[in-house]
Chains A and B, each alone.
Chain A
Amino acid sequence: MSIAAWICLLAPLAGALAITLLGELVPRRIAGLVATGSVAIAFAAAVVLFVTVLGRDGEERQELTTAWNWLSVGDLDVGLSLLVDPLSIMMALIVAGVGSLIVAYSIGYMAGDDEERRFFAYMALFVFSMLLLVLAGNFLILLAGWGLVGLSSYLLIGFHHERPSAIAAAKKAFIMNAVGDATMALAFFLLVYETGTLDFVTAFERVDGLSSTVVNLVALGLLGGAVAKSAQIPLHTWLPDAMEGPTPVSALIHAATMVTAGVYLIVRAHPLFEAAPSVQDLAAGLGAVTIVVAGLIALVQTDIKRVIAYSTMSQIGYMFLAAGIGAYANGMFHLMTHAFFKALLFLAAGVVIHALVGEQDMRKMGGLRRLMPRTWIAMLIGGLALVGLPPLSGFFSKDSILASALATGDTYGYVLFAAGLFGALLTGIYTFRMLFIVFTGEPSGFVREHLHTEHGEGPRWMTAPVAVLAALAVVGGAVQIAGIWHPLADFLDSIVAVDRESLALVEPTVTQDWVTSILAVGAGLLGIGVAWLIYGARRVAAPRMVALRNPLERKLYFDELYQTVFYYPAVGIARGWTRFVEGPLIGGSISGVAGATRGLGRGVGQAQTGFLRTYALAIAAGLAVLAMVFVSVR
């Protein structure tokens, strides 16, 4: 089992290294195949792990393998170790499975790009980093994976390095994530100081002995990292800008895998969060706020990828909500189905963008339904799954989260439930606003002029992964059907540090499930109806509501706020230091020393006449003076 885990982890790294080191020896197409193959090997290894674990029971489902002792300081030993348990296997399956589909899609999408090899090396590097993150056996390895995914995300967002906006977006993502990395590292320092270990299993065992302040601080630090990586409010502003990256990158990193790492972290470290209930409530609250705010902003976006990006934020808000109220399995379930349908939406949007020579502005699109019928169907499946209509996958996962919120039975839970329900309505509106604008009506002038579909709707490399993901988005929800069967929850029950019957803290009743489903589907349908009236049938003009529209179009001024609070003061202070301290004090003192030395040298240099006889006379005279001194002193 441990060998399969190592193969799963290292295959993408080997692929990345091979592409990088062989350079131009590898033809472009082969580089894509190498990347796809290496990720597919990782997926196969993850499947082997899955099957192996299915054959075992309870405690035996966890296995910690340590390659070597990486760091040893005093009592602290940190090994390069992997933890294989149902949770990490589930994440590895999603990462490598969806990852291999998206890397395969990239072969078609990136064909003809100048730097395909670099792209595929980065993609394989990302998959390696993400697998390191999810398979990590202790917090330090997790932090290493955490940092590496941040790095590969930075590299891929800035892949089109000739575009200044892409570079700016990459830097923004990196810096926002660094804030989260810092709080996470601080949490780990505190954890090491208090418990003396970074091992998941041991650390969780020692949580009970900690004071509530320490637990709260550690959980808060971890939450900071999770919020930054998962683009939750208030550290979310990087994700919409990250759409500067190529579309497969958005699908893989900024929808299906990396941004869900925060959810994974909360589920993985759930004993810590449960010991700090107020922090866990905060996680749920942030999730709920993000659901609503991101949903509202998505209503007015004009860039097709940004709509999906805000939708991603909103959906991860649901997962945070689930993790925050202790419905871990439901959160992970939504993580999985979301990976399917959101990757599908991104890839289908990528097909559209590819066919329209890179145009992403929805206002220039329209009437693509008849021109690209299969893409329309794929997009429709993704959209319906996103809104959560039965029997598509999003229905089962989103409703189970909402039902769990209802099942908490307290006021806070009802507020969260209401926010989630309102989010479902918004999801219906913004998703179908996008679909209707892009696909219905008459083809726009831009479409008629620029659409090129000589390969059908796209190369086979692109359409095949879209088809597979569409199938997964349809049937993926059947893994767990509330009230009928719940194999996924049972599978996750045996993860590390669960010493109770069931992982979940809340268990909705059948009535609550029904009520939730009816309300959520109703909200979704209402949203679709509103979108149809305004953007599909165009019977109702979009409400103007300038007072609301302007703040939303400016993304609720988060960028401006951070600009004012952090950027301007920092730049102002730096300018002040340059002008009043560095210039006169540091620069002045250095040039003063240099000037004095130069003057002294020039003065002494006057004595060097170059006349040999002057020197000889000086020596003779000096000797005579010395002789006289010796004689007279004695």
Chain B
Amino acid sequence: MNGPDVTWYLAVAGVLFATGALGVLLRRSPLIVLLSLEIMLNGANLALIAFARQQGDLDGQIFALAVMAVAASEVVVGLGLIVAMARRRLVLDVDELTTLRG
């Protein structure tokens, strides 16, 4: 087996996931939150693919493809919502968007 050990891949995946999670938790712009979500997904995808390669099983790669498809659709919806909000001149700040609170 060529290339670095699976541990390295997991480390990179963990860094990506943590970066994304911090972005979701700390940033206020819904656009950046969405972006950070994508980074989290990609971290998870990397871990999936790394394990698939280690196990010599394609299931993980197929799962990663499915995650990408879902992520793409989710971005379409999310961006659509953000554009709609911008058009209505709503403030693009997740802390201000609290209409659905209990």
A residues in contact (CB < 8 Å) with B? 604-613, 616-617, 620
Contact = CB atoms under 8 A, between A and B. Distances in A.
A160 to B, nearest CB: 58
Contacts of B101: 608-611
A612 B98 CA distance: 8
B102 A613 contact: no
Contact of A610 (B21, B25, B26, B100): B100
Interface of B: 21, 24-26, 28, 33, 94-95, 97-102
Contact of B98 (A604, A610, A620): A610
B33 to A, nearest CB: 7
A391 B95 CA distance: 107
B87 to A, nearest CB: 20
A609 B26 CA distance: 17
Contacts of B97: 610, 612
B25 A617 contact: yes
Contact of B102 (A607, A612, A620): A607
B94 A604 contact: no
Contacts of B28: 613
Contact of A620 (B25, B33, B99): B25
B94 A613 contact: yes
29 contacts: A604-B102, A605-B102, A606-B102, A607-B102, A608-B100, A608-B101, A608-B102, A609-B98, A609-B101, A610-B97, A610-B99, A610-B101, A610-B102, A611-B94, A611-B95, A611-B98, A611-B101, A612-B33, A612-B94, A612-B95, A613-B24, A613-B25, A613-B26, A613-B28, A613-B94, A613-B95, A616-B24, A616-B25, A617-B25
Contacts, number: 34
A424 B100 CA distance: 88
Contacts of A610: 97-102
Nearest to B94: A612
Contacts of A604: 102
Nearest to A602: B102
Contacts of A607: 102
Contacts of B21: 620
B34 to A, nearest CB: 11
A174 B94 CA distance: 70
B67 to A, nearest CB: 18
Most buried by B among A606, A609, A610, A617: A610
Contacts of A612: 33, 94-95, 97
A620 B40 CA distance: 12
A604 B95 CA distance: 21
A611 to B, nearest CB: 6
Given A611-B98, A612-B95, A620-B25, 14 more contacts: A608-B100, A608-B102, A609-B98, A610-B97, A610-B98, A610-B100, A610-B102, A611-B95, A612-B94, A613-B25, A613-B94, A616-B24, A617-B25, A620-B21
B42 to A, nearest CB: 17
Nearest to B37: A616
Contacts of B102: 604-608, 610
A612 B102 CA distance: 13
A606 B97 CA distance: 17
A611 B33 CA distance: 13
A602 to B, nearest CB: 9
B31 to A, nearest CB: 13
Contacts of A617: 25
Contacts of A609: 98, 101
Contacts of B26: 613
Nearest to B102: A608
A609 B100 CA distance: 8
Contacts of B94: 611-613
A616 B101 CA distance: 14
Nearest to A605: B102
Most buried by A among B26, B94, B95, B102: B102
Contacts of A613: 24-26, 28, 94-95
Contacts of B99: 610
A285 B95 CA distance: 93
A613 B37 CA distance: 13
A610 B102 CA distance: 7
Contacts of A605: 102
